[in-house]
Amino acid sequence: MNISIKNIVSALSLSLDLTDNDWGKFEDVINPTHAKDMLNKQFSNHSRCTSYIALEIAQTMKLDENSYYNLYIACMIHDIGTQNIFDESHTSKWYIKKHCIA
């Protein structure tokens, strides 16, 4: 079996986005009637957007390939510890502001 770290990181990022958007049931994720709602969620693809911005900055800074790769992984999984505070992150402007600064 061939395992790709990129696929693993992408899968983790997607699962974080799904959890962050409060899609608790697998049926909701695969149900086509919910697809439009999923795309319109406020935090959808947050980790990917974070990665894009960080990697654009890293490219401008001319970071080496290893740093670039590590930055990508860090961005894709940067919210992995927030599973217990999703309710707060959805309702608190303070939390969102703090998250951007940290």
pLDDT digits (tens, 9 = 90+) for 9-28: 667 666 666 665 554 454 55
Question: CA torsion, points 53, 58, 64, 65, in degrees to nearest 10?
Answer: 10
Q: Which two structure tokens, joined as six digits, stand for 86?
A: 């999703």
Tell which residue, 79, 12, 92, has the closest CA to residue 50: 79
Tell which residue, 29, 21, 20, has the closest CA to residue 83: 20
Task: Record the pTM.
Answer: 0.47
**Each residue's pLDDT tens digit, 21-71:** 554 454 554 455 554 454 445 455 777 778 888 888 888 999 999 998 898
